[in-house]
C-alpha cells in the first residue's frame, strides 16, 4: 500500500516506518522540520515536509492524494492546550475527512488506553486537552465509513521490543514503543481489525497471534 504516516518523526513512527517498508509498503512520512529529513530517509520512508496546522481543505486533499492508507501517530506533545486541540483533534479530523475524499480507505489511529468521552481526566489536569482531543478524534473516526482501527497502547516505555502483547487487559499498564510499532505494521492490512478499538499492554501473546485473534 501507499501509506501516508502523519507524525513521522515521533519515536513510535520511526520504529514503525522501517517495518512497514520491509513489509513492502511505500511510506510517506509527514514531518514539520526539514532538519529531520535524513532521519526519515534512514528508515526507508520518504519524507514530506509540511506543517499540518497550516493546511486547509485543499492542502489536506493534496497531502493524502494517491494514498491507500493513513497512519496517524502525530501529537502536539502536550503543554499548550490550543496547539493540542489544533493538532490532536482538528488536524486528526481533517486528515480523516481528507482520507475519505481521497479514497484512502485504510486508517490507523494511534490513541491511548482509556481514551473516550468518559476518560475521567480532571479539567485542571494538564492532560485534559489531549484526552478531550483524542476523544473527539476517535469518535469522529468511528462515524466515518473508512476501514479504521484505533490502537490504544498503555503507558509507553523505551524497552526493547518483546514482540508480545496483551489485548485482553482491562487496566492500563505499560507497553514498549517498539511493540506499538510492531502492532501498527501488523494491523495495517488485517481486515479483522477494521472497526476495532484495540487496547493493549506488553504481555505474553505474540503480536501476530494477538491480532489474528481479535
Q: Which residues have a catalytic role annotated?
A: 130
Instruction: Count other Cβ atoms within 10 Å, centred on residue 117.
Output: 11
171-177 long-range CB contacts below 8 Å, 24 or more apart? 172/113, 172/114, 172/199, 172/201, 173/201, 173/202, 174/201, 174/202, 175/200, 175/201, 175/202, 176/202, 177/11, 177/12, 177/15
- Do 144 and 183 touch, CB atoms closer than 8 A? no
N-term to C-term CA, the chain: 22
Rounded Cα–Cα distance for residues 107 and 128 (Å): 25
Closest CA to 4 of 31, 39, 32: 31
Instruction: State the Cα torsion 169-170-175-181 to the nearest 10°.
Output: 80
Rounded Cα–Cα distance for residues 26 and 67 (Å): 9
Question: Coil, helix or strand for 108?
Answer: strand
Backbone angles phi, psi at 198, to 5 degrees: -105, 105
Amino acid at each position: 500500500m501507499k501509506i501516508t504516516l502523519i507524525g513521522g518523526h515521533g519515536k513510535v513512527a520511526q520504529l514503525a516506518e522501517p517495518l512497514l517498508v520491509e513489509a513492502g509498503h511505500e511510506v510517506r512520512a509527514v514531518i514539520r522540520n526539514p532538519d529531520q529529513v535524513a532521519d526519515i530517509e534512514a528508515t526507508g520512508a520518504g519524507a514530506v515536509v509540511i506543517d499540518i496546522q497550516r493546511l486547509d481543505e485543499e492542502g489536506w486533499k493534496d497531502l493524502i492524494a494517491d494514498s491507500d492508507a493513513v497512519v496517524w501517530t502525530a501529537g502536539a506533545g502536550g503543554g499548550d492546550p490550543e496547539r493540542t486541540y489544533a493538532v490532536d483533534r482538528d488536524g486528526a479530523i481533517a486528515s480523516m475527512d481528507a482520507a475519505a475524499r481521497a479514497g484512502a480507505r485504510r486508517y490507523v489511529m494511534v490513541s491511548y488506553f482509556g481514551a473516550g468521552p468518559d476518560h475521567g481526566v480532571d479539567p485542571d489536569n494538564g492532560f485534559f486537552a489531549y484526552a478531550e482531543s483524542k476523544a473527539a478524534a476517535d469518535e469522529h473516526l468511528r462515524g466515518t465509513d473508512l476501514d479504521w482501527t484505533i490502537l490504544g497502547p498503555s503507558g509507553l516505555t523505551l524497552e526493547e521490543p518483546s514482540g508480545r502483547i496483551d489485548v485482553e487487559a482491562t487496566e492500563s499498564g505499560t507497553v514498549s514503543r517498539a511493540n506499538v510499532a510492531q502492532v501498527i505494521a501488523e494491523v495495517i492490512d488485517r481486515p479483522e481489525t477494521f472497526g476495532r478499538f484495540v487496547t493493549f499492554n506488553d504481555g505474553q501473546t505474540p503480536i501476530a497471534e494477538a491480532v489474528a485473534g481479535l
